[in-house]
Chains A and B, each alone.
Chain A
Amino acid sequence: MSNDLVIKDLHVRIEEKEILKGVNLTVKPGMIHAIMGPNGSGKSTLAYTLAGHPAYEVTGGEAWYKGQNILELGADERSKLGLFLAFQYPVAIPGVTVANFLRSAINAHRAEEGTDPKQTAIPMAQFRKELRDRMSTLEVDDSFARRYLNEGFSGGEKKRIEILQMAMLKPSMAIMDETDSGLDIDALRIVSHGVNTLAQEQPDMGVLVITHYQRLLNYIKPHFVSVMMEGRIVREGGPELALELEEKGYDWIREEVFSNAGA
């Protein structure tokens, strides 16, 4: 049973349009793996598909994690397996407080088949303490615990709350979808610090960082960089590849890849 996340020849479409056209990718435990690519290359589709969004139709391929083809699991089962998606556009849940939501999620993770959920639930004092500690690391005001999840939050607040959820759920494989979008430099620093803290605490956590810009990778340093274009991974390399993209843009890769393919 491998704790690698192994994606093989993944084909995905949404509303009849094929977006992913055979993605191959392996994310290893303890590694930070960045996926970069221009807009519309399929990066977010990959993130949503791995998390199990019902609108994305898998037409071919596999995604293996901890001995299971996760494409056959519901979104909640994938989460319990250790997968986490930090959303690019977090969803507001009116009337459900951040604290209540997190407690429900944690207790869902702790629940065991055939055992009274009350038995496995996180003790209230422990939950409160951990929530307070995590919020303070992410410089989130205490009052957010009682606010309704993402309702009326600014873009930066939403992203911080995503990382707060990640810190509370402690995934073994975290996918971060354009977490840097809409963040100013201070928020970017705080969010990155939160991710790095967690990565240090949990040395076996794999992280898949999806981003358009190199900027985020100054703060969250990747071990590997893959470039996605037109629904495929077209180039793989080390951190230097991100710097090269920052300097030269994506066009040169496009030219190399697609002129070769055409030749």
Chain B
Amino acid sequence: MQERNELTLLPALSELTDEHIVNTARAVNEPGWLLLKRQQAWKHFADSVPPFWRRTDLTKFKSEQVAAPVGVFGTQLELDETLAAQGVIFMPLGAVLRDQEPLVRQYFGTAVDPLAHKFTALHAALWQDGVFLYVPKHVALEKPIRATFTFPEGATSIFPHNIVIVEEGASVTFIEEYTSDDMAGQAFASPATEIFIGDNASVRYITAQNWGKGVYTVGSQIAKVGNNSNLEWIALNLGGKLQHLEAETYLEGNGSRVDWQASTFAEDGQTLLTAPWLRHIGANTEGHMDFKTVVNGGGYTTFDGMIKIEKGSRETISRLEEHAIHLSEKARSDSIPGLRIDTNDVQRAGHASTSGQVDEEMLFYMRSRGIQRDDAMKLIVMGFFEPVLDRLSADMRERMTGIIEGKI
């Protein structure tokens, strides 16, 4: 859904002031509490020093050039007429600020902290794009809910903010796709997604980014899971020049569970970092993380993960596996897995990690059946990502497969 009026841009960050932010919000009659949040965030952005991220090199990133779009121009929703009858709300976030004010106000910024660091603050000050998805109690949606984000024509930045609220006993698949053409110069994406899952609910969250060349993306994704609820989190990180993604699952409810699968592929010229945190908070929570990475050419990836088993949690089961394949001599991948346990009552906590070239024995085996080396490589890589690809719809799978094969 796009608004009909013409795209305008805020001044570039080097010129932007609090006044611009106030005027923009007032022009569309944004609620006062939200404007206040924007102003606080802007102040935090202006006052704070850039975060020090050892493996995310932003020295070439020209933040002063970033000019945020005004209005919802980069968000596309696949609308389904039958949703409203079931009480489901699926709209651009900017379009429900008044109609759904109590819900938005209750949840906005409560998972992704606007004041976490300079980039979250910038996002909270400038977001316009994004969706609001609300699934009422006991509504089970068969068909996935899908939103796509890209740079609006004439803009080189986007700040989508997504809020997903899934009430007790409901189930839904939410797909967000970030994509763009290759950019001539620098572009900047600052997405944030907040997911709130009630009790006895089930959510499949599929998030895929395939930004074009030149795109810096610094984003946050946080999901909070209620009692006896299930989250299946499927992530594909494929594009962009640089990714710094902070992702977090809070297993708050007793008996809550996450199955977290990610595939990352960095080729020449790409630096992709994912920092997934898994917090076990409730009793009898169970978390499985399977993170797969392929690096080609001079690509560089970082897995900077953490499992925290909090004080007060009980009978926790936690498993982390991360595996990386290097397709070239120059390829690099760093892995920094962490485990912090603040309780005595852990049922199982395990970690496995590997990285290296494609297994020569595998290649030989496949070649001995007539499959050429290049095709064998493709099969091995696609097989490596299969746990993620297997969970996509046929059309999305085909698209992602095409993108991945193009990188091998």
List chain A positions with a Cβ less than 8 A from chain B.
51-55, 74-76, 78-80, 84-85, 87, 90-91, 93-96, 100-101, 104-105, 108-109, 148, 165, 169
Residues of A within 8 A of B385 (CB): 95
CB pair A51 B370 closer than 8 Å: no
Say whether B364 faces chain A, with CB atoms less than 8 Å apart.
yes
Which of A80, A85, A96 has the most B CB atoms < 10 Å from its CB? A96
Give, as a whole number of angstroms, the nearest-CB distance from A91 to chain B: 4
Q: Which of A75, A80, A104 contacts B379, CB < 8 Å?
A: A104
CB pair A76 B371 closer than 8 Å: yes
Residues of B within 8 A of A80 (CB): 370
CB pair A96 B380 closer than 8 Å: yes
A95 and B382 in contact, given A80-B370, A104-B371 (Cβ under 8 angstroms):
yes
Which of B364, B380, B387 has the most A CB atoms < 10 Å from its CB? B364
Say whether B108 faces chain A, with CB atoms less than 8 Å apart.
no
Residues of A within 8 A of B379 (CB): 93, 96, 100-101, 104
CB pair A96 B383 closer than 8 Å: yes
Say whether B362 faces chain A, with CB atoms less than 8 Å apart.
yes
A79 and B369 in contact, given A95-B384, A104-B375 (Cβ under 8 angstroms):
yes
CB pair A108 B370 closer than 8 Å: yes
Question: How far apart sit A87 and B364, CA to CA, in the bound complex (Å)?
Answer: 11
CB pair A91 B361 closer than 8 Å: yes
9 pairs, A vs B, C-beta closer than 8 Å: A52-B367, A53-B364, A74-B367, A93-B383, A95-B386, A96-B380, A105-B369, A108-B371, A108-B375
Give, as a whole number of angstroms, the nearest-CB distance from A122 to chain B: 13
Residues of A within 8 A of B384 (CB): 94-95
Give, as a whole number of angstroms, the nearest-CB distance from B292 to chain A: 9
Residues of B within 8 A of A90 (CB): 365
Closest B residue, CB atoms, query A168 = B369
Give, as a whole number of angstroms, the nearest-CB distance from B359 to chain A: 8
Q: What are the 4 tightest A-B residue pairs by CB atom distance, in nearest-first order?
A: A95-B383, A95-B386, A79-B370, A75-B367
Q: Mark B361-398, 1 if CB is under 8 A from A, else 0.
A: 11011111111110100011011111100000000000
Residues of B within 8 A of A74 (CB): 367, 373
Residues of A within 8 A of B368 (CB): 51-52, 75-76, 78-79, 84-85, 87
Q: Mark B251-287, 1 if CB is under 8 A from A, else 0.
A: 0000000000000000000000000000000000000
Residues of B within 8 A of A100 (CB): 379
Say whether B81 faces chain A, with CB atoms less than 8 Å apart.
no
Give, as a whole number of angstroms, the nearest-CB distance from B398 to chain A: 15
Residues of B within 8 A of A84 (CB): 368
Give, as a whole number of angstroms, the nearest-CB distance from B405 to chain A: 13
Give, as a whole number of angstroms, the nearest-CB distance from B387 to chain A: 7
Residues of A within 8 A of B362 (CB): 91, 93
Which of A75, A79, A105 has the most B CB atoms < 10 Å from its CB? A75
Say whether B360 faces chain A, with CB atoms less than 8 Å apart.
yes
Give, as a whole number of angstroms, the nearest-CB distance from A105 to chain B: 4
Question: How far apart sit A93 and B376, CA to CA, in the bound complex (Å)?
Answer: 10
CB pair B365 A91 closer than 8 Å: yes
Question: How far apart sit A101 and B360, CA to CA, in the bound complex (Å)?
Answer: 17
Residues of A within 8 A of B370 (CB): 76, 79-80, 105, 108-109, 169
CB pair A108 B369 closer than 8 Å: yes
Q: Mark B341-367, 1 if CB is under 8 A from A, else 0.
A: 000000000000000000111101111
CB pair A93 B369 closer than 8 Å: no
CB pair A165 B369 closer than 8 Å: yes
Which of A52, A90, A101 has the most B CB atoms < 10 Å from its CB? A101
Question: How far apart sit A100 and B366, CA to CA, in the bound complex (Å)?
Answer: 12
CB pair B372 A94 closer than 8 Å: no
